[in-house]
Amino acid sequence: MYKQITITGFGGQGVVLAGRIVGQAAAIGDSLESTLVQSYGPESRGGACSAQVTIADGPIYFPYIQNPDILVCMSQSGYDKQYPSLKKEGVLIVEQDLVKPTDGRDHFAIPCTRFAEELGNKMMANIIMVGFLAAITEAVSLDAARATVAESVPKGTVEKNLKAFDRGWEFAQATLKGRRHKAAGQIGVVA
């Protein structure tokens, strides 16, 4: 198993924390190897940033990612910059209210910023995205990801962040279920 994940967005969205949670969940919770490389501009908020996470069941010899297997875009500028590097068979995940894919490629979308606002804190959009990413890609297990979220967020916000994570996870499950029904030729709402 060898998965390379790039998460991109702008400063203030928690992109680096999201990458750290995914990498730590893989390493500590799932007993895999992982690396994290982060990149951000000189601005603390609003500048481009990214997190590159490699997860493997063996040694990782080079931590930098040139062609990710999974690309998570939380901003249009991040998508525009990183999309050309995504592997042809790679998985594209976007923040549906902030990113409009341009070439018609199959992708997964979640309105994580809107969901975070509904939960009362826009700053939890990254945690919602981690839940969505974990469920869609199975890069890390549910238990490892939830435990890492609980350890990584400020004390006093654990329950709210776990609720945010679960919102992303549940939305992914509904998305996958809808795709399975569509592939099976079923139309309409299926319980």
Under the banding of pLDDT at 50, 70 and 90, the label for residue 41 is low
- Which residues on adjacent β-strands are paired with residue 94? 73, 109
- Which residues on adjacent β-strands are paired with residue 35? 54
Under the banding of pLDDT at 50, 70 and 90, the label for residue 68 is very high
Q: Which two tokens stand for residue 96?
A: 């549906």
Q: Nearest 5 degrees, angle CA 63-CA 169-CA 26?
A: 30
Q: How large a percentage of the chain has pLDDT more than 90? A: 78
Q: Nearest 5 degrees, angle CA 34-CA 16-CA 120?
A: 125
Give the pLDDT of residue 45: 60
How many residues can be counted in the chain? 191
Burial class (CB in 10 A: 0-12, 13-18, 19+), 182: exposed
Residue 53, CB half-sphere, CA atoms under 13 Å: how many? 29
pLDDT of 86 over the 90 cut: yes
Average pLDDT, the chain: 91
**What's the rounded mean pLDDT across residues 58-71?**
94
Least confident stretch, 43-47, 54-58, 154-158:
43-47
**Please, where are the H alpha helices in the chain?**
15-24, 76-82, 112-118, 125-137, 142-152, 158-183
Least confident stretch, 6-20, 65-79, 150-164, 175-189:
175-189
Coil vs helix vs strand at 171: helix
Pick the closest to residue 15 from 59, 60, 46 (CA basis). 46
pLDDT of 5 over the 90 cut: yes
- Listed by start position, the domains of the chain span 2-183
CB of 107 closer than 8 Å to CB of 101? yes
CA–CA gap between residue 70 and residue 68 (Å, rounded): 5
CATH topology of domain 2-183: Pyruvate-ferredoxin Oxidoreductase; domain 3 (3.40.920)
Give the pLDDT of residue 188: 56
Under the banding of pLDDT at 50, 70 and 90, the label for residue 125 is very high
Under the banding of pLDDT at 50, 70 and 90, the label for residue 10 is confident
**Total Cβ atoms within 10 A of residue 12:** 15
Give the pLDDT of residue 170: 96
**What's the rounded mean pLDDT across residues 77-105?**
93
Under the banding of pLDDT at 50, 70 and 90, the label for residue 118 is very high
Q: Which two tokens stand for residue 156?
A: 């006093």
Give the pLDDT of residue 11: 81
| pTM of model > 0.85 | yes
